[in-house]
Amino acid sequence: MANYYRVAYKESKNTLKQICELFRVDSSDITIKFIVTVMGPLVFYFMCKYGNPGGGTPGGMTFFVIKYIVVWALAFVAAVILNRTIWRKVLSTTAVGDAEDQFDRRCRLNGGPVSSEIHFFDDHFDSVTAKKTRSFSYKDVTKILETKEAFGVVVKADPETVGSARAMIGFPKTALEGNNTDELAEFLLERCRNMKRKKVKKF
């Protein structure tokens, strides 16, 4: 495993679509898990408050709770599968529109397509364009994401950043020199020690 990795590519609508889809899928995954998690106890509360689950007997209530937990767990799994299959097509279509908007806006601001580079050093990584270089510490990485076409990291943004509380640095897999994203993932996992999930989140 090397101690330096380089990504280089010229932005296009297709490369931006791959990156936009990566982060849209992750955001959708977070949202749907949150909804199902919150709705489970909420529905249970209203069923107990306004209904008569289990017929009012201890045995019936126990059976009801067990059945409810099983159904809730199955609903959670079904929601995740739906998000990563059927709903994925909707997200892919939305990512196309996002990419077109971003490409046009970035071309206007930069006088043409942007050439982007990402340099992964031993102790930090840099995101570089002709107009700006941003440096990030591995300790601030919260997750690593991967789809068939793209790879990315989510980083806690600077407290002074306006808007999103996180920065998302992504790139098409083909832009990585050597094209070995598995090796890069291993390199990052060794250094990004503050991630709650100690593995790459794949879609």
Say yes or no to pLDDT of 24 above 80: yes
- pLDDT digit string, tens, across residues 62-119: 888 898 899 899 998 998 888 778 877 888 888 999 999 999 999 999 999 999 999 9
In this prediction, residue 158 has a pLDDT band, given cuts at 50, 70 and 90, of low
- pLDDT, the chain, mean: 88
Q: What is the pLDDT, as a whole number, of residue 44?
A: 86
Q: Distance between CA atoms of 73 and 68, rounded to whole angstroms?
A: 9
Q: What is the pLDDT, as a whole number, of residue 163?
A: 47
Q: Domain extents for the chain?
A: 5-202
Q: What is the pLDDT, as a whole number, of residue 106?
A: 92
Top-tier CATH class for 5-202:
mainly beta
Q: What average pLDDT does this structure show over 162-187?
A: 85
Report the side by side order of strands in the sheet with 5-10. 5-10, 115-120, 124-128, 133-137
- pLDDT digit string, tens, across residues 46-67: 888 778 887 778 888 888 889 8
Other Cβ atoms closer than 10 A to 26: 19
Say yes or no to pLDDT of 20 above 80: yes
Q: What average pLDDT does this structure show over 135-155?
A: 94
Q: What is the pLDDT, as a whole number, of residue 28?
A: 87
E strands, the chain, in order: 5-10, 115-120, 124-128, 133-137, 141-146, 150-156, 166-172, 201-202
Report the range of poorest mean pLDDT among 57-66, 94-103, 142-151, 167-176.
57-66
Q: What is the pLDDT, as a whole number, of residue 173?
A: 96
Q: What is the pLDDT, as a whole number, of residue 93?
A: 86
